[in-house]
Structure 1
Amino acid sequence: MSIFRNLSKRAPEDELMDDFSMGGEELSEALVHLRRLNKIFAAPGPTRYGVEKLWKMIGSPQKLSILDVGAGSGDVNRKLLQWANEKGIDLHIILVDLTEEACREAEVLFKDEPRIEVRQADVRELPDAMADVVTGSQFVHHFVGDDLIDIVSHMLRASRHGVVINDIHRHKVSYTAVWLTTRLISRNRYIRHDGPLSVAKGFTSADWKDLKQKLNHDSMTYAWKPMFRYAVVIPRNHKPALTAEGGAAGHGK
């Protein structure tokens, strides 16, 4: 993965982590190193921001359930547990990932945390309204085109109140920073390849605007957050935009 890359459009190629035939000890090691990257680049912040914003929108309930899809080892949720302690919220978090390695890492990381539940599953096969809020941290950049619309729609379907997305800002500064950092902290093939590629597959404000239009979701908001991330909030109950003829437009439900 070269340090020089055209970032004018989202990169189309798959990450190594998208190949579920690989895995094993190398993937498990990558998940440990990914936690270091998340700490360095303040990954949990946008998720906490988005969850708190949606929580306030639904009346600040004292009991809240969260479904984190594509969770990896789920480390960004530590900040949500701290937030729940501060607010006195009875919080339950379900971590969902497709890979056995990620689920095993999550179980070890949260072995003494009764508020965390781990499941190996595909979000597209989960039941409707499974949790109050569905989150995805560094998850949706794995999808492009119609697949992106489909996966976000499934996230909305699995939520009772809405979706919070935390993902990477595609920018030359973030790309260069991640490229250099991955080479400083790790020799793992997944980290060195997928880290920079994740940024190249990330989003700009124009991409979020396009997603908002394709979802036909007027109440969707997105905000830039340090360090080069976006916090996206999509409330579950919204009124579809109307066409000039008065009918509902787009793909939204």
Structure 2
Amino acid sequence: MDDPACDPAALDRTYRYFRPINAVVSGWRRVYVRHLRPHLSVHEPTTLLDIGSGGGDVPRALARWAARDGLRLAVTAVDPDERAHRYVTAQPATPGVEFRQASSGDLVRDGETFDLVTSNHLLHHLDPDTLASLLAHSAVLARRLVVHADIERGRLAYAAYAAATWPLARRSFVYDDGLASVRRSYRPHELAAVVPPGWDVRTQLPYRLLLVRDVTDATAREEARHA
């Protein structure tokens, strides 16, 4: 998927397959219920930024769940990849979700902030410097809470994913790229060792990591802005 010259039809199928795959393995319903929903209100709008939104299935799901609960949530989903932006904007609109082609750094430079910041399967793609930048940006962009969700590396996770996605290997990048993602992902102690103070590494079944930061300290936000 990261190859600019990759087959566009296979790429679009990959984005399309993300929705059922994430519905099974990513655990975002639990993240929404336990971490995000307590910040939402029936009366006051809450803003949420999803970074690296890819095929857009996670921000759309968050908006749908909030709407079903009668809660006011405005989601901004950003991805710097023009191919991802082309795909998501060609899909039917989801009320409460805006897709933009941008990076977290772009939003920091523009002085934007949001109540909540999330990402899905982004951390393992980043080298150490880019990861540090993402976390600094997140601390600046979020007024309340950051939740970055990712894969926890494990042999059983690798074998289960390989077996489940093998039928999709020839028509998309789900199989090969997904297995590469499992190999590149962190174990809890590894992630804890590379993040700065103030970030909490948590686990969630099956084979999920949550990197959480409660952004309520104005001093910490100012320090992050100048990091």
Give TM-score scaled by structure 2 length. 0.83
Distance of 2:57 and 2:67 partners within structure 1: 17
Unaligned runs of 5+ in 2: none
Q: Among residues 30, 45, 51, which one is paired with 2:14 in the alignment?
A: 30
1:227 is aligned to 206
2:28 is aligned to 44
Distance of 1:39 and 1:131 partners within structure 2: 25
Distance of 1:135 and 1:124 partners within structure 2: 15
Q: Among residues 36, 40, 46, which one is paired with 1:64 in the alignment?
A: 46
Map residues 28-177 of structure 1 onto 2, 5 A cutoff.
Answer: 28-45=12-29, 47-48=31-32, 49-52=34-37, 55=39, 62-85=44-67, 87-111=69-93, 113-126=94-107, 127-177=110-160
1:155 positional shift:
2.1
Query: Contact 1:50–1:231 at 8 Å: present in 2 too?
Result: no
2:181 is aligned to 198
Q: Deviations over 1:127-168 (max 9, x none)?
A: 334311111111111013222112221222222223111100
Following superposition, which runs of at least 4 residues in structure 1 exceed 4 angstroms of deviation? 249-253
Query: Contact 1:134–1:162 at 8 Å: present in 2 too?
Result: yes
The CA RMSD measured in Å over matched residues stands at 2.9
1:244 is aligned to none
Give TM-score scaled by structure 1 length. 0.75
1:64 positional shift:
0.7
1:176 positional shift:
1.0
Q: Which has more helix, going by share of residues?
A: 2
Map residues 4-23 of structure 1 onto 2, 5 A cutoff.
Answer: 17-22=1-6
Distance 1:88 1:252, change over 3 A: farther
Q: Deviations over 1:198-225 (max 9, x none)?
A: 111112110232134xx222xx323211
% identical equivalent positions = 25
Distance 1:114 1:87, change over 3 A: closer
Distance of 1:140 and 1:119 partners within structure 2: 20
Higher Rg: 1
1:228 positional shift:
1.2
Distance of 1:140 and 1:238 partners within structure 2: 23
1:79 positional shift:
3.7
